[in-house]
Structure 1
Amino acid sequence: MTGELSPIDKAKFVAAKRAAEFVEDGMRVGLGTGSTAAWLVRCLGERVRKEGLRFRGVPTSTRTAQLARELGIEVISLEEAGWLDLTIDGADEIDGELNLIKGGGGALLQEKIVATASDQMVVIADAAKQVETLGAFPLPVEVIAFGQSATQALLEEALVSLDVLGRRTSLRMNGAKPFVTDEGNHILDLHLNRIGNARELALMLNQIPGVVENGLFIDICDRVVIGHGDGRVELRDITGGSGSEERIDLDESDNLFTDL
């Protein structure tokens, strides 16, 4: 029941529910990874069940693919899709220019590939993800396992000349072992506190040997849907302006919540 959800979960739910309305019959849709994206997949599953919506989803992780299949969504690979009409995903931080930090869930590589292979990327998030300047959330960088410590040292050296407040890096762990991505890589989290020039940093990171991809999504997001715990949603797009605000009714009998 929605009454049992925390304000943060309600905010994620209403953002996901509004964004799910962008999906139309016949579309090829990128499905993101993370807690907010999981709400989206649930909302789309409800549309499949109740409305007969038919679309093909390209998941950005194995766990998203599993959830989508469980909910009756047709899952295909990006190779099968060729190109996508739309990708909907969450974010860890969003600045005023709709630049993002992503990768808290460890799927940034597939997420960036899918997002950039789409006509449009829509980001869904709760209001706490909005920031003036990126960097408070640790920036994930996916690196190959071979030579990971050397890559980390090169990365730390490069950060000295960049406009960031912090320069500590850490290897993401899964218990006693390094976290491993779906592609078999590791993740270094950069604790930068504030990123003065996100575009410059993104370019620098991908020049370091051993770096596969970084979690800065620059000029990729076209629209954001921000949810609030009281049911309000704000819509903003890359053209700027004040955007628009709507209210989403929270259905207490919604089947989305029966297994939570």
Structure 2
Amino acid sequence: MQALSQQQLKTLVGEAALEYVSGGEIIGVGTGSTVNCFLHALERIRDRIKGAVSTSPASTALLRELGIPVLDPNDVDELGVYIDGADEIDHHGYMIKGGGAALTLEKIVAAQSRRFVCIADESKLVDLLGTFPLPVEVLPVAERRIVRQFEAMGAQATIRQCGGAALLTNHGMHIVDVRGLQITDPLLLEAQVSQWPGVVTVGIFARQKAHVCLLGTGQGVRTLTFCA
């Protein structure tokens, strides 16, 4: 049997995520190539959902192209489900997110949702978070001090660049990418870094962990369910 390509795996998990979309609800939608596969599958049942809250301009544009209403998070009390990918996910449902620089809105939408369904290929499943650089969204005025705080922990921290200058997020902030961390206690590190003055959002999703992960594997879609 020929091995499935990464694109085929993304399509499989995107299709599988439809099972978690209930009729009459507003859903949360992330961003990325795997989420795009989910959105193209979602088009088939678009008349069953009331609308979506999107975490990125790219997903917003695709949702509108597919005829799905896009709502502002402030206009929605609760979302039935949030479907998004992850840069890393461990066996407890804790994740690193923010590779696309949308981590603040992603965390807001995750907190608004009754259930977080992570869709990913099996390369994203890890025993210990930290191989993927940890994104931290920061106020520009505080970025150098935050870099030094991570360096004092033995990590390497750099300000993410775009076109020779510091990348600006949708909120006008900068991203510090942190390498060399072994995140043995995601809940503790998320809480600690979130308290540093100047930090807007840390890309550890431990309090807003995944409830379910649909993992694309060579044998098909593997469903991981995590304790609350």
Fold in common (TM above 0.5): yes
| Mapped partners of 2:62, 2:27: distance in 1 | 15
1:58 aligns to what SS in structure 2? strand
| Mapped partners of 1:76, 1:197: distance in 2 | 35
AA partner of residue 163 (structure 2): G
| Mapped partners of 1:20, 1:103: distance in 2 | 24
Q: How does 1:182-197 map to 2 (within 5 A)?
A: 182-197=170-185
* Residue 28 (structure 1) aligned to one of 17, 26, 29: 26
2:13 aligns to what SS in structure 1? helix
Give the structure with higher Rg (CA).
1
* Residue 202 (structure 2) aligned to one of 214, 219, 231: 214
| Mapped partners of 2:31, 2:114: distance in 1 | 19
Q: Which residue of 2 aligns with 1:224?
A: 213
1:63 equivalent in alignment to 2:58: yes
Q: Which residue of 1 aligns with 2:109?
A: 114
CA contact (8 A) 2:24 2:49 kept: yes
AA partner of residue 201 (structure 1): L
AA partner of residue 121 (structure 2): D
Q: Which residue of 1 aligns with 2:67?
A: 72
Q: Which residue of 1 aligns with 2:42?
A: 44
1:181 equivalent in alignment to 2:169: yes
Structure 1 segments, 4+ long, off by >4 Å, are none
1:209 Cα deviation after fit: 1.1
CA contact (8 A) 1:30 1:87 kept: yes
CA contact (8 A) 1:10 1:229 kept: no
2:42 aligns to what SS in structure 1? helix
1:236 equivalent in alignment to 2:227: no
1:74 aligns to what SS in structure 2? coil
Q: Which residue of 1 aligns with 2:193?
A: 205
1:9 aligns to what SS in structure 2? helix
Residues 54, 199 of structure 1: alpha-carbon distance in 2 compared, 3 angstrom cutoff: closer
| Mapped partners of 1:239, 1:82: distance in 2 | 24
* Residue 102 (structure 1) aligned to one of 80, 93, 97: 97
| Mapped partners of 2:171, 2:149: distance in 1 | 22
Identity among equivalent pairs (%): 35
AA partner of residue 85 (structure 1): G
Q: How does 1:119-158 map to 2 (within 5 A)?
A: 119-157=114-152
Q: Which residue of 2 aligns with 1:12?
A: 10
CA contact (8 A) 2:215 2:221 kept: yes
| Mapped partners of 1:203, 1:234: distance in 2 | 30
CA RMSD of aligned residues (A): 1.8
Kindly tell me the number of residue pairs found equivalent between the two proteins. 225
CA contact (8 A) 2:150 2:156 kept: no
| Mapped partners of 1:229, 1:70: distance in 2 | 32
| Mapped partners of 2:32, 2:80: distance in 1 | 21
1:36 Cα deviation after fit: 1.4
| Mapped partners of 2:189, 2:67: distance in 1 | 40
1:15 aligns to what SS in structure 2? helix
Q: Which residue of 2 aligns with 1:172?
A: 160
| Mapped partners of 1:196, 1:22: distance in 2 | 30
Residues 194, 154 of structure 1: alpha-carbon distance in 2 compared, 3 angstrom cutoff: closer
AA partner of residue 142 (structure 1): E
| Mapped partners of 1:229, 1:136: distance in 2 | 23
Q: What TM-score do the two structures reach when normalised by structure 2?
A: 0.92
CA contact (8 A) 2:26 2:49 kept: no
1:45 aligns to what SS in structure 2? helix
Post-superposition Cα deviations, 1:55-110, rounded to whole Å, max 9, x if no partner, equal 31000112211111111111101111121111011001111111111111111110
